Amino acid sequence: MHREDFPMLKQDIVYFDNGATSLKPQVMIDAMVDYYSNHTANIHRGDYDAAIKTDALYDEAREVVKNFLHAESSREIVFTSGMTDGMNRIVFGFMKYQLKPGDEVLISKAEHASCAIPWYVLQEELGIVVRSVPLDSEHQLTIQNLESMISPKTKVISLSHITNVIGDVRDVEKIGEIAEKNHIYFVVDAAQSVSHVPVDVLKMKASFLVFSGHKMLGPTGVGVLYGKMDLLSKMRPLCYGGGMNEFFESTGEYKIREVPTCFEAGTPPIAEVIGLSRVIQYIESIGVENIHKHEVELKKYLVSELLKIPNIVLYNKSSESGILAFNIRGVFSQDTAVYLNHYHIYIRAGNHCSKMLKDDLNIKNTCRVSMHLYNTKEDVDKLVLALKNSEDIFKIIL
């Protein structure tokens, strides 16, 4: 779908590494170039035409994100540098001051490093206990397993909406219900889900939700932290400086501004925020449901074709997203990635920043195909053909 909108696709490539970062549509590039070429200005400081235009676009972006996430107020939207930044702000700006030693945080072994390591650091610093919910035989999280881990000590459930290797779509609405019923904070990593499936922070009763712009067809260097207003008002900034203070005096007195401005110290990534806003409008014009349907159909086709090749091992056939992890039997994943690059097919090899998942998969490294709206049946056919002919892999890569 919409391949003509993506300048990278003018090259003869098959791009299957969307879990790492996605390609960018021309409309997003144009919006950023327009800022740099025609109305460069800082925000909230200038009284000239370019600054007024930039202010309006920056403020509009918060509204665009709010509507996209179905949040109650644009004040619940904080611009960050990405999902990792957002998670660290939640853990060290909020949870550090709300949790007590012995409080439990539930995660899973399929979580990305950014959704595990901050919790482990807080475990060291504060004496909270981080526990992993066991995954089922398909390496997926089940509601039963999650519920079995909940105790009166459980204070946080912190999970990805869609995991980045297995690609299972967690039932976040059900998890949100369980969290609310048990007075547990629910933190959602939407890095792999936003732009792939509908994200509604109210339906999922999320306390906090984070994602990056660059995995959702948007720019690098920008992300979003959503938090419920009453929680954000208790969150402490991790960064202090210009733009976020009401006043400061030589006596040492200062006052920080209200949410969300207090969380955006210094000059924010203005061009990136404008680009993100434009790309969300682009995604909405296509429809997230249509993107999801397209990716799931393509994955089913890919799985059906790969099952015909005897030496291909699949790790997550059943998950309902555009993510498939596989290996050629007896071939190290990086060698497969180098081989596929020979045919201009871009996939990812490795542990995909989910280093705990090896305990469940019994393998450390896999090849990962991750799709987006512009992938086609022809892309899948090219990949399948290359894998069918992979008996000569070492003649090609060495």
Partner 1 sequence: MERSLRQAIIVDHYQNPYHKGLVDDDRGEYIKNNTNSVSCIDNVDIMYKIKDGVILDIYFDGEACAISTSATSIMIHTLIGKTVKEARSYLKNYEAMIEERPYDKELLGELNAYEEIYLQPNRKKCALLPFESLKKVLDEIEEN
The minimum distance between CB 340 and partner 1, in angstroms, equals 14
Nearer to partner 1, 97 or 332 (CB): 332
> Does 248 engage in binding with partner 1 (CB under 8 A)?
no
Task: Report if residue 189 touches partner 1, rule: CB under 8 A.
Answer: no
Does residue 168 interact with partner 1 by CB under 8 A? no
Backbone φ, ψ for residue 231 (5° rounding): -80, -45
Query: How many CA atoms are closer than 13 Å to the CA of 275, on its beta-carbon side?
Result: 28
Q: Which CB sits closer to partner 1, 117 or 338?
A: 338
Q: Are 201 and 77 in contact (CB under 8 A)?
A: no
In the complex, the smallest distance separating the C-beta of residue 365 from partner 1, rounded to whole angstroms, is: 5
Applying CB under 8 A, among 154, 351, 354, 390 the residue interacting with partner 1 is 351
Distance CA(50)–CA(41), nearest Å, equals: 6
Question: Could you identify the residue written with the tokens 């610093």?
Answer: 125
Point out which span in 146-154, 286-294, 349-357, 374-382 binds partner 1 (CB under 8 A). 349-357
User: Residues 317-346 vs partner 1: string with x where CB under 8 A?
Assistant: ---------------xxxx--x--------
- In degrees and rounded to multiples of 5, residue 197 shows phi and psi of -140, 155
Q: Using CA of residue 335, residue 338, residue 343, residue 348, what is the dihedral sign?
A: positive
Output 286 or 338, the one with its CB closest to partner 1: 338
Q: Looking at beta carbons only, is 101 or 330 nearer to partner 1?
A: 330
**What is d(CA 92, CA 113) in angstroms, rounded to the nearest whole number?**
16
Shortest spacing between CB 15 and partner 1, in angstroms: 18
Among 255, 344, 364, 377, binds partner 1 (CB under 8 A): 364
Residue 340's closest CA among 362, 312, 318? 312
- 390 binds partner 1, rule: CB under 8 A: no
Question: CA 167 to CA 139: how far, in whole Å?
Answer: 10
By CB under 8 A, the count of residues binding partner 1 is 14
- Report if residue 350 touches partner 1, rule: CB under 8 A: yes
When asked if residue 391 is in the footprint of partner 1 (CB under 8 A), the reply is: no
Residue 159 · residue 170 · CB < 8 Å: yes
Query: Is the CB of 161 or the CB of 348 nearer to partner 1?
Result: 348
Question: Could you say whether residue 375 binds partner 1 (CB under 8 A)?
Answer: no
> Which DSSP helix (H) or strand (E) runs through 367?
strand 366-370
Contact 282, 28 (CB under 8 A): yes
Exactly one of 115, 262, 353, 367 is catalytic; name it: 353
Whose Cβ is closer to partner 1: residue 192's or residue 365's? 365
Q: Binding of partner 1 at residue 370 (CB under 8 A)?
A: no
Q: Give yes or no for residue 10 binding partner 1 (CB under 8 A).
A: no
Q: Is 348 exposed, middle or buried (0-12, 13-18, 19+ CB in 10 A)?
A: buried
Computed from CA positions of residues 42, 35, 65, 47, in that sequence, does the dihedral angle turn out positive or negative? positive
Partners of 267 in beta bridges: none
Q: How far is the CB of 352 from partner 1 (least distance, A)?
A: 10
Query: Per CB under 8 A, does 117 bind partner 1?
Result: no
Least distance between partner 1 and beta carbon 334 (Å): 4
Cβ closest to partner 1, residue 243 vs residue 350: 350
CB of 104 to partner 1, least distance (A): 30
CA angle 114, 195, 62 (to 5 degrees): 80
Shortest distance, position 349 Cβ to partner 1, whole Å? 7
Q: Would you call 353 a catalytic residue per the annotation?
A: yes
Supply 371's token pair.
């799709």
Three-state SS for 92? helix
**Which position has the token pair 């008002």?**
233
223 vs 21: CA distance, rounded Å: 13
Rounded to whole angstroms, the Cα distance separating 119 from 94 reads 12
Helix (H, G, I), strand (E, B) or coil at 15: strand
The answer to whether 398 contacts partner 1 (rule: CB under 8 A) is: yes
Nearer to partner 1, 183 or 395 (CB): 395
Catalytic positions, written as ranges: 353
**Residue numbers of the site for partner 1 (CB under 8 A)?**
332-335, 338, 349-351, 364-365, 394-395, 397-398
